[in-house]
Chain A
């Protein structure tokens, strides 16, 4: 038995929010429209209604209601839908950090990788985006085509994870 539970979250709109010019002005408009700052690299911000996760210097993944973001971007960027190709898998329980080390290369066991942090990494050859929701919850954004196999990989890994690790 492991102390991690995997849950497929329902399909939801996901968008790429990309800025190509005037980042400071966009950030200002963003703060005015949403009430929070554009998250810095490796972090996320917002709420259940609208969450942004910064994945690249000029690119954020947007989860939730995007109705205000068109005006925020104006001619300084674009919003592109990508939700159809991404599966969200919620890893719950104290064991999610250990699970993510299986087949991985990223230090998910680092305590500094805590709530509000995000990362893009490779797990068992699959490109995965991670977002730490809380100490016991991490959401993984997985390409649809790999999601069934990666979920299977995680389930098998979870069955063996704590075997033989005397820690």
Chain B
């Protein structure tokens, strides 16, 4: 590998590779910069730790995989050919120890004959216990690069876009298409994964050059087109939806705006794929060494980056394109020591090269190369059946061209075999997609049959898969290309078969004695090039996927420094500790205050629906399984709702606010589901009803005041006699109109105050002042849970878990005897009344504390007959109680069971009891 060949004064950017600082030019890829600094050894192969250099100049690079960046920003398995150097870039080689030059793992190379395809399957078998032993070593050896252990400090964004025409690839064909479409008045998006436009024009400026590309881009923009660089079309989905991954910062770089990458969801009227083709390598012994490079890549390094990757160069080809490389290298000062053309006859290009003095050999195929860890020293070939050798530090190879057809295939398209090009090309499309340029019309090539030792002739460089591995898989009976892929690991990881697929297919077809298209093709799935996981998560990567829903009174609570609890998407105060109180201490104090005095809490998250119209009662009697129609104005009732199959799915209260106006409340956790259910019933089941059902969950903030002193508190607040239990009145608190409902979840005399959320703060303040005056306190979700469990009230998601009927929950006496509600028919199924169903029970601890979630068993080793759905401590008396579901539970009161939680290592002896531990007669509701 040659050293720098360009003026070092131009290199002003500092970067670091494996701890050593180098200089680069603006616009250099890391690969170009390393070559310019004479660095030939860049990585170690995955399996055998063979020394590897830089083979390509694009996203198809299989060898030069490095980790770029530090800390949480580190990006492993970055292709050195696909990262542009910035000041301060830090890159590290991978898969080596202690260093790249001296890698202990290279010992695996000595054992290569034993480590062929299927090695794992043939070696690591036996009992599970033995596998546990193997696993330790396999995990130590497996993997490529290390994922960062720190959180990524950067953000990832996602956005939508719509266009008439999306053009993928800004080479000459893509630019020309984009220009025509934009100037025809179409909304155009043109994407290019490189940092500059032009693609092959950068490497081969002829009639069109980079100046033409810049001019075309300016015209596209002037016509309203959008051009995205450093952007890759990563997936093609249904209805011409294409995802684009856009880099706003290079790997490891601190993004100027905080956003490292953006995922575009582009819905296009038409898609034009100008994705070009990827040059194929040629199989020969040790073709993975540093100093073996694709022909077009060598040309790119010379013409785009001004880097000469070798001084004594052998060209190996089966087509005319490589002669351009010979010319470019010679022009840059390299000596072309041989051009090995696999074709038996001189082509026009070959004849031209020979007449220009270049040493062209036809019917010549490389068989092996030699060299050291860092460089190449010689090339051997079979020429007309004779072995010939040359001293060389670079071999530039071209085995033909593979069109980039992955997006066409992901769109559901089919492929045709192009025999002249020895490649698959796009055929029929199922979506509105067209392929143009090199991807549709690859150059013709001559088929090459390898003449080398198959054990050392690699076809998948990234996964160390050789021709011998394909031969072995065939010998062992793997006939399908899909099986071959999985057995040999061919085409996996970042490579995805870009360089390897056609070589493997060729070998498989040769073994099968069929043509390549008859041998089959593996499936193309997105993404074809790697996509960061954080980009798929988008902004949600930082907050577990979704926004937190904040209470209208969030700031009021936050000022009191509560312990917060996520509840669905909501954040609610779990307890308000005083001094050094723990959560349990605070919750117990708060619950005791409700039992003996008065407490208040925020119940704004409850689902709330305002139902109005002359058919409101009829509508509610469909939604609710209890009677509603006979409710008097100013009265309310507990209710529950069933699915169409008769299973309970939510509960709440219904209040008649006016002649034709009701307020329906239901659970927080089921609020969205209930909104969907109500909408479904309204729009599909009974669109004829004269009713409006509006979701007012967020319109009203809710404040619950509970305890023996709640009545005097409410009397003072509304300056009138507070309503009796299950009654409602409109009132004013602090000058703000409110609805006061007398309802209790705690088991005490209690009220719920509903106020328009934008005025909630002043009403809360008034309530808090009055509660404080009565020596009361705020209480959170934990105390509320203690209170409701002791009272035996249900919670959706706990006792109401999608399996229980009203009979199982002992609610059947409340069912509307006239029927007609949703679920009535489903509820009549005989199976729902058969013995053996789980039923709601109370559980009282005989010894130990009852673990929540524990299974209920009759004796150790027995099968579970139920489980504990919620557990708490008796608030005033002490002791552990719980609610649970138990097989035939109603008839088992008094039975002793074990509540066992093996995952927590906890156990308690319990007695089955009635599920109401407190005020079973409901006397505390009454004044």
B759 within 8 A of A: yes
B176 within 8 A of A: no
Interface size classification for chain B: 35 or more
A106 within 8 A of B: yes
Contact segment of B325-333, B695-703, B769-777 = B695-703
Mostly, the B contact residues are mixed
A120 to chain B, nearest CB (A): 13
Q: How far is the CA of A159 from the CA of B539 in the complex (A)?
A: 14
Q: With a CB–CB cut-off of 8 A, which chain A residues contact B610? A: 80
A51 to chain B, nearest CB (A): 19
Q: With a CB–CB cut-off of 8 A, which chain B residues contact A77? A: 692
B246 to chain A, nearest CB (A): 6
Q: With a CB–CB cut-off of 8 A, which chain B residues contact A143? A: 549, 698
B824 to chain A, nearest CB (A): 25
Given contacts A78-B692, A83-B758, A164 and B246 within 8 Å (CB-CB): yes
Contacts of B836-884 to chain A: CB distance below 8 A: none
Q: Which of B549, B613, B757 contacts A20 (CB 8 A)?
A: B613
Mostly, the A contact residues are mixed
Q: With a CB–CB cut-off of 8 A, which chain A residues contact B540? A: 125
B509 within 8 A of A: no
A106 to chain B, nearest CB (A): 7
Q: Is the CB of B612 within 8 A of A163?
A: no
Q: Is the CB of A21 within 8 A of B248?
A: no
Q: How far is the CA of A107 from the CA of B265 in the complex (A)?
A: 11
Q: With a CB–CB cut-off of 8 A, which chain A residues contact B552? A: 84, 144-145
Q: With a CB–CB cut-off of 8 A, which chain A residues contact B262? A: 164
Q: Is the CB of A81 within 8 A of B692?
A: no
A118 within 8 A of B: no
Q: With a CB–CB cut-off of 8 A, which chain A residues contact B755? A: 84
Q: Is the CB of A78 within 8 A of B700?
A: no
Q: With a CB–CB cut-off of 8 A, which chain B residues contact A16? A: 692, 694
Q: Is the CB of B692 within 8 A of A103?
A: no
Q: With a CB–CB cut-off of 8 A, which chain A residues contact B554? A: 148
Q: Which of B158, B259, B550, B756 contacts A160 (CB 8 A)?
A: B259
Q: With a CB–CB cut-off of 8 A, which chain B residues contact A82? A: 694-696, 698-699
- The interface bits of chain A over 18-44 (1 if a CB of B lies within 8 angstroms of the residue's CB, else 0) are 101100000000000000000000000
Q: Is the CB of B694 within 8 A of A148?
A: no
- The interface bits of chain B over 659-693 (1 if a CB of A lies within 8 angstroms of the residue's CB, else 0) are 00000000000000000000000000000011110
Q: Is the CB of A149 within 8 A of B550?
A: yes
Contact segment of B108-116, B201-209, B224-232, B368-376 = B224-232
- The interface bits of chain A over 118-151 (1 if a CB of B lies within 8 angstroms of the residue's CB, else 0) are 0000001110000000000000000111101110
A157 within 8 A of B: yes
Q: Is the CB of A125 within 8 A of B698?
A: no
B683 to chain A, nearest CB (A): 9
A165 within 8 A of B: yes
B31 to chain A, nearest CB (A): 22
Q: How far is the CA of A106 from the CA of B549 in the complex (A)?
A: 23
Chain B residue with the shortest CB-CB distance to A16: B694
Chain A residue with the shortest CB-CB distance to B543: A149
Q: How far is the CA of A104 from the CA of B161 in the complex (A)?
A: 9
Q: Which of A11, A105, A165 contacts B758 (CB 8 A)?
A: A11
Q: Is the CB of B699 within 8 A of A81?
A: yes
B602 to chain A, nearest CB (A): 12
Q: How far is the CA of A57 from the CA of B160 in the complex (A)?
A: 26
Q: How far is the CA of A53 from the CA of B226 in the complex (A)?
A: 32
Q: Is the CB of B550 within 8 A of A159?
A: no
A47 within 8 A of B: no
B26 to chain A, nearest CB (A): 17
Given contacts A144-B552, A160-B259, A75 and B614 within 8 Å (CB-CB): yes
Chain B residue with the shortest CB-CB distance to A10: B758
Q: Is the CB of B690 within 8 A of A166?
A: no
Q: With a CB–CB cut-off of 8 A, which chain B residues contact A20? A: 613, 689-692
Given contacts A20-B689, A80-B692, A103 and B157 within 8 Å (CB-CB): yes
B162 within 8 A of A: yes
A20 to chain B, nearest CB (A): 5
Q: Is the CB of A103 within 8 A of B550?
A: no
Q: With a CB–CB cut-off of 8 A, which chain A residues contact B160? A: 101, 104-107
The residue among B265, B540, B613 with the most chain A CB atoms within 10 A of its own CB is B613
B304 to chain A, nearest CB (A): 20
Q: Is the CB of A109 within 8 A of B162?
A: yes
Q: Is the CB of B227 within 8 A of A160?
A: no
Q: Is the CB of B226 within 8 A of A102?
A: no
Q: How far is the CA of A80 from the CA of B664 in the complex (A)?
A: 14
Q: Is the CB of B613 within 8 A of A81?
A: no
Q: Is the CB of A84 within 8 A of B699?
A: yes
Q: How far is the CA of A153 from the CA of B159 in the complex (A)?
A: 13
Chain B residue with the shortest CB-CB distance to A85: B698
Q: With a CB–CB cut-off of 8 A, which chain A residues contact B539? A: 103, 124, 153, 156
- Beyond the given A84-B701, A107-B162, could you list 9 further A-B residue pairs with CB under 8 A, ordered by the A residue number? A11-B758, A75-B614, A78-B694, A84-B552, A84-B757, A85-B700, A144-B550, A145-B698, A160-B155
Q: What are 16 A-B residue pairs whose CB atoms fall within 8 Å in the complex?
A: A84-B552, A85-B696, A85-B757, A101-B161, A103-B158, A104-B160, A105-B160, A125-B547, A144-B698, A145-B698, A148-B550, A149-B548, A150-B547, A153-B547, A160-B257, A167-B227
The 5 closest A-B pairs by CB, nearest first: A85-B698, A160-B257, A84-B756, A145-B549, A84-B757
Where the two chains meet, the residues of B that have a C-beta atom closer than 8 Å to any C-beta of A are 155, 157-162, 221, 225-230, 246-248, 255-259, 262, 265, 267, 538-540, 546-552, 554, 569-570, 610, 612-614, 689-692, 694-701, 755-760
